[in-house]
A and B are shown apart, each in its own frame.
Chain A
Amino acid sequence: MDLQIALLLGQDGIVNGAIYGLMALALVLVFSVTRVIFIPQGEFVAFGALTMAMMQAGRVPTTLWLLLALAAVVLVVEAVRYQSGSPVNWPATLVWCVGLPLLACALALGLRPTSLALQALTALVLITPLGPLLYRLAFRPLADASVLMLLIVSVALHGVLVGLGLLFFGAEGSRTPPFSDARFDLGGIPVSGQSLVVLGTTLALVVLLFLFFGRSMVGKALRATAINRVGARLMGIPTELSGDVSFALAALIGAVSGLLIAPLTTVYYDTGFLIGLKGFVAAIVGGLASYPLALAGALLVGQLEAFASFWASAYKEVLVFTLIVPVLWWRSLNSRHVEEDE
């Protein structure tokens, strides 16, 4: 290997690491606020990418039917809850179940956008409400269950979504045209415009999230919930709101990642799972709690994957996933006293 190849691989690693970093951010966010270890995070990536691909093929994205079906079911569930006297946050419910789905219909069925930017927007409007809708159906009824129970539900949901992905998109993969065709030459290293788009978007999202958590009231409420769930509830922050918002953010981040990665690699219905899991390896570096460590972990995973694909491409996945073992060992060195599982 010469320097040229090393630099190319390093660039690959940074771009992949950025995507894993987005995954890791979403996973840490969802886990710290709702205690859900959200295995299906990667499915949003695949759904986002393949929704975009379907629109480019001039077809109505099948994910729209999933969105409408879920919205209808959630409306029924909320109505039943309302009947039985449970408090229902109707404004939020209407946003997720009526407002955004209608907007998605208008965009996907009415406008049928042809420009890249509008197609991307449509995909985001379509995928984002899936987060809160899935949260309300699968996880909210179990809000007081143990982390382990929530994890098992999470894995079950992953199964459902992958199965649906196969049904919606078929077994063939898709690739979308890049957002930028530009090519640069940095000291002899070719850099594609799309890699810069990935990095730029990732940085922008990280900054936006930072501002959201640091400045906005809802962001602060989410942070409070992450630190002390019961205390936050006593201060009047509804569990429902924190669940909705964190899952919406997770879905949004997932869909954005999907749009970013679809021009770089062929996305299949089950590609998202592996991407999400690599995000997990990164998030575990930060103990599922620290955002900066999770990002650092993501860069590590990206680099390891890039160089492994050069030296031992058949064992690429094995190397990336076994990274979790030394990471966990390192984390276990600092734990001495037994703590009760939540």
Chain B
Amino acid sequence: MSAPSHNPSAAVPAQPVRGGFVTRTQLTLAGVALLALCWGWLPDFTVVMLCYIGLYAIVAAGLVMLTGVGGMTSFGQAAFVGIGAYATAWACTAPASVQALGGLVGMAGLPWAGLALGLVLTFAVAWGLGAVTLKLSGHYLPLCTIAWGLSLYYLFGNMQFLGGQTGITGVPPLMLGEVSLASPRAIGVLIWVVLLAALWLLHNLLDSREGRAIRALKGGRVMAESMGVDTAHYRIKLFVLAALLAALSGWLYAHLQRFVSPTPFNLNIGIEYLFMAVVGGAGHLWGAVLGAALITLLKEKLQDILPSLLGSSGNFEIIVFGLLMVLVLQRFADGLWPTLQRLGERWLRRDAPRAVREAAPLAQRTLPAPGTVLLQAQGVTKRFGGLVANNNVSMDVKAGEVHALIGPNGAGKSTFFNMISGVDDATEGEVRLMDQPMLRRPSRAFARLGLARTFQHVRLLGQRSVVENVALGAHQRARRGWIASMLRLDRAEEAALLAEARRQIERCGLGAFADMPAASLALGQQRIVEIARALAGQPALLLLDEPAAGLRHLEKKALADLLRQLRAEGLGILVVEHDMEFVMNLADRITVLEFGCVISRGTPQQVQRDQRVLDAYLGGGDDLPGAEAAP
């Protein structure tokens, strides 16, 4: 039933590979059709197992998004399943609710009122927990979910109106019009429809502008912020999405079981959901289905075998699951799905690229007139404890010029770079961008005003293609949100984004590499990808941190030509660079830093003649101010 499907990474297919019989899409559709055809003839026990696998897979799919894609995790998903289940059980059976809602929506409508209640409650709780924890480092969320998972379990068990430890019985079956979904065979259809729909929506979401931002949450947050993505907000939304899927599963569970009690929503079960996602393959949506199937079947078997083997009864399958989990993480960190996928690769054809529709126009920025001051730093000082990394540094960058910032290693260039791009705050002094004060503003605010940057230590999503990396740079030029992406209403805009990304890649001379994983390029080329990504945002001001490092002679010449052309178009460019020939031939103005202080500024000719600069680079000057500076 878990037929291989779209590999999310195949969003932008490379050259179609010949050979193979069917595409992933065809195979998936065939698998679904087969399941649908068999459904009526499957034995009852198999149907019940499939129902549970479907229910668990819905939760695990949310965890795949959270853990494998977004780099967060939660051990408390079972608690959200519990909210979904208890909400509908209460709404359908409590006298108060039946009296109040029954008249409004009718008895058959009560489960739907319960669904709405569960989703609203889950949304509120998840948003609250997320808002509190997701601004902090990634491990606070999972710790918080452990505490929260335990708390909710105790709450369910202690609240008399929820039946205490005995729970709520007599939950009515779902009714679709006149059809009753009382039997597992009937509600199982609904469960699998919901699961497949959820997978389709999540797949679409990942294959979009928003999906690229979501993927950047794992290990690329600083970079994504510099592209204008509010990563804390995205993290909260992703956590809420996973929680809502869990609540949906809980709603279906309550109407399948027709009875709820606290036990299935305990922390242990929350941990089992995570096992499913990780064992199946936390980076792959179908890994959730694989993991749910494996763990459910294994649990069934273990509960038969273990008690007789160990001579006593108890929750012993956790020993096997735990060992399995440690082993999987040590040996197959990506889970089992990628292994299956590699096997399948031989037999599958890649999906044909979709026909690109009319591209929607992207937001355009009007560049300021040449000579306008874009960025102004005034008396910027940065201290790390007693260490002064930047001391009273002032400089500006104008539209239509290349301004170079040079200095020996440890002069404080990178620290200064971080402060004028919003990655860090100055201890004293002022940074103004487009004549706005930027103190204590996040780097995405800098991006919004038209600043784009590259990083000294390349920050690309190595597994994603070059074109996807570059398209992330254009993130803030498009508007379509999560729901539009899920429903594929974003295709025109998406086509425009990808076209813009390809245009910038061509312009930077990397057209041949557009569809390769970014990590497969040489380091120098990766730096150029970063420049293309910065340009995709259509910036007014470009900050380049050692762009020429690792480039060969001809590549450097091409880069210099590109920068000259950009300058002619009216961009302001600030370059930090060690290659003096490159800098002297290109820059209009140069500022020299040493030990955190500006020791010289002027045209290349002026700076080259400055005795203090000669001393700094060639040695000899002992009378220089300032303390030891940070690298």
B155 touches A318 (CB 8 A): yes
Question: Chain A nearest CB: distance from B557 CB in Å?
Answer: 34
| B618 within 8 A of partner (CB) | no
Question: Chain A nearest CB: distance from B69 CB in Å?
Answer: 13
| B96 within 8 A of partner (CB) | no
Cβ-neighbour of A328 out of B133, B220, B315, B442 (below 8 A): B133
B333 touches A156 (CB 8 A): no
A156 touches B326 (CB 8 A): yes
Measured in the bound complex, the distance between the Cα atoms of B329 and A145 in whole Å is: 10
User: What DSSP secondary structure best describes chain B's contact surface?
Assistant: helix
Cβ-neighbour of B143 out of A37, A138, A163, A318 (below 8 A): A37
One digit per residue, 1 when the CB lies within 8 angstroms of any chain B CB and 0 when it does not, for chain A 264-285 equals 0000000000100100110010
B150 touches A328 (CB 8 A): no
Interface centre among A142, A281, A325 (most CB of B within 10 A): A325
| A148 within 8 A of partner (CB) | yes
Stretch at the interface among A203-211, A213-221, A222-230, A330-338: A330-338
| B136 within 8 A of partner (CB) | yes
Query: Could you say which residues of chain B place their CB within 8 Å of the CB of A153?
Result: 325-326, 329-330
Cβ-neighbour of A332 out of B136, B268, B423, B443 (below 8 A): B136
Q: Please report which residues of chain B, range 217-251, place their CB below 8 angstroms from some CB of chain A when the two chains form the complex.
A: 219-222, 225, 231-232
User: What DSSP secondary structure best describes chain A's contact surface?
Assistant: helix
Contacts across chains A and B counted by CB atoms under 8 Å: 164
CB-CB nearest in chain B for A269: B314
B329 touches A335 (CB 8 A): no
| B154 within 8 A of partner (CB) | yes
Question: Chain B nearest CB: distance from A84 CB in Å?
Answer: 15
| B310 within 8 A of partner (CB) | yes
CB-CB nearest in chain A for B135: A332
A331 touches B314 (CB 8 A): no
Query: Could you say which residues of chain B place their CB within 8 Å of the CB of A164?
Result: 319
Q: Please report which residues of chain B, range 127-151, place their CB below 8 angstroms from some CB of chain A when the two chains form the complex.
A: 128-129, 132-133, 135-140, 142-144, 146-148, 150-151
Stretch at the interface among B71-79, B112-120, B528-536, B562-570: B71-79
Given contacts A160-B322, A328-B133, A332-B133, contact A341 B278 (CB under 8 A): no
A151 touches B142 (CB 8 A): yes
CB-CB nearest in chain B for A155: B271
A149 touches B129 (CB 8 A): no
One digit per residue, 1 when the CB lies within 8 angstroms of any chain B CB and 0 when it does not, for chain A 131-167 equals 0000000100110011111011101111110111011
CB-CB nearest in chain B for A281: B147
Query: Could you say which residues of chain B place their CB within 8 Å of the CB of A338?
Result: 221-222, 225, 231-232, 442-443
Measured in the bound complex, the distance between the Cα atoms of B425 and A155 in whole Å is: 37
A166 touches B315 (CB 8 A): yes
B132 touches A325 (CB 8 A): yes
| A171 within 8 A of partner (CB) | yes
Query: Could you say which residues of chain A place their CB within 8 Å of the CB of B128?
Result: 325
Measured in the bound complex, the distance between the Cα atoms of B71 and A281 in whole Å is: 23
Cβ-neighbour of B312 out of A170, A314, A321, A332 (below 8 A): A170
Measured in the bound complex, the distance between the Cα atoms of B310 and A237 in whole Å is: 43
Given contacts A166-B315, A328-B133, A336-B442, contact A315 B158 (CB under 8 A): yes
B75 touches A155 (CB 8 A): yes
Measured in the bound complex, the distance between the Cα atoms of B147 and A328 in whole Å is: 12
Query: Could you say which residues of chain B place their CB within 8 Å of the CB of A2?
Result: none
Cβ-neighbour of B136 out of A317, A321, A328 (below 8 A): A328
| A339 within 8 A of partner (CB) | yes
Measured in the bound complex, the distance between the Cα atoms of B232 and A335 in whole Å is: 11
| A185 within 8 A of partner (CB) | no
Query: Could you say which residues of chain A place their CB within 8 Å of the CB of B316?
Result: 163, 166-167
What is the size, in residues, of chain A's interface with B at 8 Å between Cβ atoms?
A: 52
A138 touches B144 (CB 8 A): no
Query: Could you say which residues of chain A place their CB within 8 Å of the CB of B330?
Result: 141-142, 153
Q: Please report which residues of chain B, range 254-285, place their CB below 8 angstroms from some CB of chain A when the two chains form the complex.
A: 268, 271, 274-275, 278
Question: Chain A nearest CB: distance from B414 CB in Å?
Answer: 15
| A115 within 8 A of partner (CB) | no
Given contacts A147-B138, A151-B73, A337-B423, contact A280 B143 (CB under 8 A): yes
| B176 within 8 A of partner (CB) | no
Query: Could you say which residues of chain B place their CB within 8 Å of the CB of A318?
Result: 151, 154-155, 158
One digit per residue, 1 when the CB lies within 8 angstroms of any chain B CB and 0 when it does not, for chain A 102-146 equals 000000000000000000000000000000000000100110011
Question: Chain A nearest CB: distance from B320 CB in Å?
Answer: 8
| A311 within 8 A of partner (CB) | no
Interface extent on B, as a size class?
35 or more
A314 touches B158 (CB 8 A): yes
| A83 within 8 A of partner (CB) | no
B140 touches A337 (CB 8 A): no
CB-CB nearest in chain A for B152: A318
Cβ-neighbour of A340 out of B219, B271, B319, B325 (below 8 A): B219
B322 touches A340 (CB 8 A): no
B442 touches A163 (CB 8 A): no
| A86 within 8 A of partner (CB) | no
Q: Please report which residues of chain A, range 25-40, place their CB below 8 angstroms from some CB of chain B when the two chains form the complex.
A: 37, 39
CB-CB nearest in chain A for B133: A328
B329 touches A142 (CB 8 A): yes
B144 touches A324 (CB 8 A): yes
Query: Could you say which residues of chain B place their CB within 8 Å of the CB of A163?
Result: 314-319, 322
Measured in the bound complex, the distance between the Cα atoms of B331 and A141 in whole Å is: 9
Given contacts A147-B138, A321-B151, contact A341 B71 (CB under 8 A): yes
One digit per residue, 1 when the CB lies within 8 angstroms of any chain A CB and 0 when it does not, for chain B 27-66 equals 0000000000000000000000000000000000000000
A337 touches B139 (CB 8 A): no
| B522 within 8 A of partner (CB) | no
Q: Please report which residues of chain B, range 285-337, place their CB below 8 angstroms from some CB of chain A when the two chains form the complex.
A: 310, 312, 314-319, 321-323, 325-326, 329-330, 333
Measured in the bound complex, the distance between the Cα atoms of B495 and A226 in whole Å is: 48
| B546 within 8 A of partner (CB) | no
| B424 within 8 A of partner (CB) | yes
Query: Could you say which residues of chain B place their CB within 8 Å of the CB of A329?
Result: 132
Cβ-neighbour of B274 out of A39, A145, A155, A342 (below 8 A): A155
B278 touches A152 (CB 8 A): yes
Measured in the bound complex, the distance between the Cα atoms of B139 and A310 in whole Å is: 33
A341 touches B271 (CB 8 A): no
One digit per residue, 1 when the CB lies within 8 angstroms of any chain A CB and 0 when it does not, for chain B 405-425 equals 000000000000000001111
Query: Could you say which residues of chain B place their CB within 8 Å of the CB of A325?
Result: 128-129, 132, 144, 148
| B480 within 8 A of partner (CB) | no
B424 touches A337 (CB 8 A): yes
One digit per residue, 1 when the CB lies within 8 angstroms of any chain A CB and 0 when it does not, for chain B 150-175 equals 11001100100000000000000000
Please provide the 8 A-B residue pairs with the shortest distance between their CB atoms, ordered closest to farther.
A160-B322, A163-B319, A159-B322, A156-B325, A341-B138, A321-B147, A159-B318, A156-B322
> Beyond A142-B330, A160-B319, A337-B443: 11 further Cβ-contacts under 8 Å?
A147-B139, A152-B325, A155-B274, A164-B319, A315-B158, A321-B148, A322-B151, A325-B128, A331-B136, A331-B140, A337-B425
- Can you identify 14 A-B contacts, CB atoms within 8 angstroms? A141-B330, A153-B330, A156-B321, A156-B323, A157-B322, A158-B322, A159-B271, A159-B319, A274-B150, A317-B150, A318-B151, A324-B144, A325-B128, A336-B440
Measuring CB to CB, which residues of chain B are less than 8 angstroms from any residue of chain A? 67, 71-73, 75, 128-129, 132-133, 135-140, 142-144, 146-148, 150-151, 154-155, 158, 219-222, 225, 231-232, 268, 271, 274-275, 278, 310, 312, 314-319, 321-323, 325-326, 329-330, 333, 422-425, 440, 442-443
